[in-house]
Structure 1
Amino acid sequence: MGLVGEVLLLPFAPVRGSAWVIGQVLNEAERLYYDPATVRAELAALEEELTSGAIDEEEFDRREDELLDRLEIGLARPAPEN
């Protein structure tokens, strides 16, 4: 396409830029969601909730399973490149 294609697609540049920004935000959110350190901190907080009586054993087990699944995925993911 070259120059003609770029000129014709110029009105869509803000849309392409917005899509890139949204993609970057989603990537960072996903990285934080699966970050092993974050998940471990959430597991510690969950255990505190159980010992303080804020949640029951059933709720603890359900949430712990979700967190352990996230941790497993986070550990299997490749390390981010800097």
Structure 2
Amino acid sequence: MGLLSSILTLPLAPVRGVIWLGQIIQDEVERQQNDPATMRRELEEIDEATARGQLSEEERAQAQQAVLDRMMRPSGGTAPPDGKG
């Protein structure tokens, strides 16, 4: 039965490979986004943009909150922090 199922599912091998590659890429992106150094750099860039006048105080607060929300999200979670997703 193993040989027969292998032959029948062989055309799906490229699809499985693409799904696997997509998962690897997603894991790496999440790892980089949740890196403390990346988050600190983003907060510094927000402060610099505010100092240059590119962001209002309200935009600054929203941007900082988005970074902080990402910081507080459980590792590996892709759902929004409000739990709707």
Instruction: Give the shorter-chain TM-score range.
Output: 0.7 to 0.9
- The equivalent of 1:77 in structure 2 is 75
Report matched runs for 1:1-82 at 5 Å: 1-73=1-73, 77=75
Alpha-carbon deviations, 1:11-42, whole Å to 9, x = none?
11111111111111111111112221111100
* Matched residue SS, 2:54: coil
Number of aligned residue pairs: give it.
76
Unaligned runs of 5+ in 2: 77-85
Q: What is the identity percentage for the equivalent residue pairs of Structure 1 and Structure 2?
A: 39
- The equivalent of 2:82 in structure 1 is none
In the alignment, the residues of structure 2 paired with residue 71 and residue 50 of structure 1 have an alpha-carbon distance, to the nearest angstrom, of 21
Greater relative CO (CA pairs within 8 A, separation 6+): 1
Q: What is the TM-score when the length of structure 2 is the normalising length?
A: 0.79
Alpha-carbon deviations, 1:35-79, whole Å to 9, x = none?
211111000010111112111101000111001111223xx538x
Unaligned runs of 5+ in 1: none
Q: What is the TM-score when the length of structure 1 is the normalising length?
A: 0.81
What's the C-alpha RMSD, in Å, of the aligned pairs?
Answer: 1.6
